[in-house]
Every structure is written in structure tokens, then in C-alpha cells.
Amino acid sequence: GDSIEPDKEKNVITQERETVKLSCSFSATSSTIRLYWYRQNLHGEPLFLAYKGARSWSAAHTSDDRFQSTTSDTSTELTITDVRLSDSALYYCALLVGAQ
């Protein structure tokens, strides 16, 4: 079946103004795939950060230029530049298969 999981389930510790990369690996049979990134602050709701198509899907969108997503046939990476204290949160990757 289709699945997605973080490459490392751990805390990422950094300093302000640094660049951070988060990644997830996925398995899917479809050639039309979209990968989403969200983050959730303590006591908050998940907020959309970015999506990026994979394989035959090329669309992309980001909520902020500091958040950029890249994809391969089996993985997605979120790069956060100019990290701020307010970026402290729980980050989620999500897989949408067969998006048209």
C-alpha cells in the first residue's frame, strides 16, 4: 500500500538564522503524487507550509519563501531558511496519491 514516514523521528535543534532540512520517505504505486508539509504549534492547529508534486506531477506552492520543498520518486524534503524561534513546532509530512 501507500505510506509515508519521517526519515528521523527526533528533535531537531538549531540556532536562529540557520538552515534546517527535514525529510520523509514514501512508497506509492501511482505516478501522480503530491507531498505536503504542515507544522503544528503547541495547542494550535496544523498549518500548511508547502506542497510539491512528485513523479509525473510538477505543481508546487509554498506559504512563505523560507519554506521550500523538493521531491524525488521516493522522498520529500522541507528546507527552512533563516530559522526563527517561532518555527519551533511539530512538523508533518503528508502524501496525496492520484491527485489531478
At 100 the pLDDT is 54
Q: What is the DSSP string of 1-64?
A: --EEEES--S-----TT--EEEEEEEE-S-SEEEEEEEEE-TTS--EEEEEEEEET---EEESS
Task: For the chain, 100 residues long, give each residue's pLDDT as a single digit of tens.
Answer: 899 999 987 789 999 999 999 999 999 999 999 999 999 999 999 999 999 999 988 889 999 999 999 999 999 999 999 999 999 999 999 999 985 5
At 20 the pLDDT is 96
State the residue range of the domain holding 92.
3-97
CATH classification at residue 73:
2.60.40.10
At 99 the pLDDT is 56
> Using the 8-state DSSP alphabet, how is residue 66 labeled?
T
Q: How many domains does the chain have?
A: 1
pTM for this one?
0.91
